[in-house]
Amino acid sequence: MGLLDGKIAVVFGVANHRSIGWQIALAFAQQGATLAFAAQERVLPEVQKLAATLGEPAVFPCDVQNDSDVPAVFAALGERYGGVDAVVHSLAFANREDVSGRRFVDTSRAGFLLALDVSAYSLTLIAQAAEPLLAARGGGSIVTMTYMGSERVIPNYNVMGVAKAALECSVRYLANDLGPKGIRVNAISAGPQRTLAARAIAGFPDMEKHVATHAPLRRNVEGQDLGSAALYLCSDLGRNVTGEVLHVDGGYNIIGM
């Protein structure tokens, strides 16, 4: 028996095999979940190729900056499955120039709004559309991905740190709103991962080396570690956990110097 046998899970934000969302999808599939994916049109062929390795998961085009796309995904999921049990939000974006050496104080209004819209508001938009489908299954779990740049200054992370702080605050408010329906909302604060988005951050390889050298466990996190954490939060193992930010970073977040 898998921890997610009979469960329906939808993953937003897979771009390629390095995506955290994909690592979570692999963990869910291994534990019996039926999967669906929602991704931007430009990466849809790659996501369809990956999804095919797990059988025949549904793959939907979705731009979270388009107010009609997210409801359309959940409408299709409702028709196909009647409800969902888990939603993974693995989405973040900022203009390259805003995370490539520019000071945070020089962030433009447009750059600020873009980062907050895609990286933070999209969680609320997804939660709105997911609520009735999660409730139809008696509750469920929403998990999003964050990073320690929300808590302290990380060189070059800049506006993404502000967006992640807004995301984490959203987790708490959403957990409170949706809790009465048995819907849990949590975040995983991951150590550095070589995702498409991370490679845009100036000095990212140095960040990886620093964490591996200074984290209490003296190593970087792997994708399967994040998949296991999401599995915990979306299965009955985490049935009484909501509104939390779970650090999966080798303990680096506890270090002061």
pLDDT value of residue 209:
84
Residue 158 inside a domain? The answer is yes
pLDDT value of residue 195:
61
pLDDT at 194 > cutoff 80:
no
Residue 108 inside a domain? The answer is yes
* Distances 60 to 37, 123, 230 between C-alpha atoms, Å: 6, 17, 22
Between residues 210 and 236, which one has the greater pLDDT?
Answer: 236
Note down the domain range covering 175.
8-249
Average pLDDT over residues 161-168: 98
pLDDT at 207 > cutoff 90:
no
* CATH number reported for the structural domain that contains residue 18 in this entry: 3.40.50.720
Average pLDDT over residues 10-16: 96
pLDDT at 203 > cutoff 90:
no
Least reliable range by pLDDT among 61-70, 85-94, 194-203: 194-203
Three-state secondary structure readout of the chain: CCCCCCCEEEEECCCCCCCHHHHHHHHHHHCCCEEEEEECHHHHHHHHHHHHCCCCCEEEECCCCCCCHHHHHHHHHHHHHCCCCEEEECCCCCCHHHCCCCCHHHCCHHHHHHHHHHHHHHHHHHHHHHHHHHHHCCCEEEEEEECHHHCCCCCCCCHHHHHHHHHHHHHHHHHHHHHHHCEEEEEEEECCCCCCCHHHCCCHHHHHHHHHHHCCCCCCCCHHHHHHHHHHHHCHHHCCCCCCEEEECCCHHHCCC
Give phi and psi for 101, each to the nearest 5: 115, -20
Residue 255 inside a domain? The answer is no
Q: Is residue 202 very low, low, confident or very high in pLDDT (cuts 50, 70, 90)? A: low
Q: Report pLDDT digits (tens) over 21-36.
A: 999 999 999 999 999 9
Average pLDDT over residues 134-143: 97
Q: Is residue 253 very low, low, confident or very high in pLDDT (cuts 50, 70, 90)? A: very high
Residue 24 inside a domain? The answer is yes
Q: Among all residues, which ones are annotated catalytic?
A: 147, 157
Q: Report pLDDT digits (tens) over 90-118.
A: 999 999 999 888 899 999 999 999 999 99
**pTM exceeds 0.85 for this model:** yes
Buried b (16+ CB within 10 A) or exposed e, 99-117: beebebeebeeebbebbbe
Q: How many domains does the chain divide into?
A: 1
pLDDT at 198 > cutoff 60:
no
Average pLDDT over residues 207-229: 90
Average pLDDT over residues 56-79: 97
Q: Is residue 72 very low, low, confident or very high in pLDDT (cuts 50, 70, 90)? A: very high
pLDDT value of residue 208:
80
Residue 179 inside a domain? The answer is yes
pLDDT value of residue 60:
98
pLDDT value of residue 146:
97
Residue 194 inside a domain? The answer is yes
Q: How far apart are alpha carbons 101 and 92 in whole angstroms?
A: 18
Residue 256 inside a domain? The answer is no
Pair 249, 46: CB distance under 8 Å: no
pLDDT at 193 > cutoff 90:
no
pLDDT at 244 > cutoff 80:
yes
Amino acid identity for residue 179 in this structure: G
**Average pLDDT of the residues of the chain:** 94
Residue 33 inside a domain? The answer is yes
Q: Report pLDDT digits (tens) over 146-162.
A: 999 999 999 899 999 99
CB atoms closer than 10 angstroms to residue 212:
17
